[in-house]
Amino acid sequence: MIDEPPPPVRDVVDVYVARSVDHTPLLRMLDEDERRRCARLRQAEDRDRFASAHALARLALAARTGIPTERQRFRRRCVVCGGPHGTPLLVLDDGAGPSRPVPHLNISSRGDHVIVAVRTGGPVGVDVEYTEGVATEGFLDTALTAEERLEWAGRPHGVRDREAAVWWTRKEAILKATGYGLLVEPTLVRVSTPWSPPDLLDWRHPDIPRPHVSLTDLDVRDAEVVAAVAVLGEPTPPVIREADLQDLPRA
C-alpha cells in the first residue's frame, strides 16, 4: 500500500494587532535573551512595546502551531552574512512527530501599536507607522526615489504626512519580507503611489535580484496609523486579528 501524500499546507497570513501593555507580567513569556534585550531599553514605554510585541508573536505562533509559548525556541540567520541575527524563525523541535512547515514571523511596533504577521508558506514582512510628523526633509532624501519625490511634491499639504507614511510602510514591509531590511536602501525601491493599489514597481539594487513580492495595505481601524504587509510569492490575502494583551493571565 502506498501512503497518500500529505495535503498541501494552506498559505494563510495572520496579522495580529494589539496595544502595548505593562511589560512586567509579560516577561515570563519571553526567553532569557529577550528578557536581557528588554532590560537594556532605558524607557519604560520601550520595554512595554518590546515585551508586548514579542509576547504577541509567541501567542500567534502558539495559535498556528499548537506549541505552547513557554516551549517555543527561535533561531536567527542573516540572509547576507549567515550570522545569528535577523528575522527570528521558530525551531520545531517539540517532538510532535514528522517535520512540519516552519511558520515565518515578522514584528513591527510604533508608539503603543504592535503588529505581528505569521505565515507558513514563506517569508513575510509587516510594518506600522504613525501618520503625523513623517514627511520631513530627511525622509524625502532617504526614503523616496526621484520619481516619488516629484509625485509627493504635487500632493495637497493636508495629506502629505499620511501618504508619506503609506509609502514608507509599503517599502519597509517589502524589505523586511526579503530579509535584507535597510541593507537595501529604500531609494532603490519604487512602489506605487499611496492613492493607488499597493505594488512594487521597480527594484534598482545592482546586486540583488528583484523579488517576486505581493503587497497589501492593512486596515488597523485607527486613523493615526497606517500599516502594510508583504509576502514573497503569490498574493495571500491577510487575515487581521485583533488581540488584547490585557486579557492574559497575570499569575
- 88 pLDDT band, cuts 50/70/90, is confident
The mean pLDDT value for 173-179 works out to 95
Do residues 227 and 126 make contact, with C-beta atoms less than 8 angstroms apart? yes
pTM to 2 decimals?
0.88
Q: Is 152 in contact with 160 (CB distance < 8 Å)?
A: yes
Residue 203 predicted with pLDDT over 50: yes
Superfamily, domain 13-246: 4'-phosphopantetheinyl transferase domain (3.90.470.20)
H or E segment to which residue 235 belongs: none
Return the number of other C-beta atoms located less than 10 Å from residue 189's C-beta.
26
pLDDT value, residue 99: 55
| pLDDT confidence of residue 10 | 66
| Residue 28 or 86, more confident | 28
Share of the chain above pLDDT 90, in %: 60
Q: Which grid cell sits at 248?
A: 492574559
* pLDDT for 5: 43
CA distance 173 to 179: 10
Tens digits of residue pLDDT in 111-161 = 999 999 999 888 999 999 999 877 666 788 889 999 999 999 889 988 989
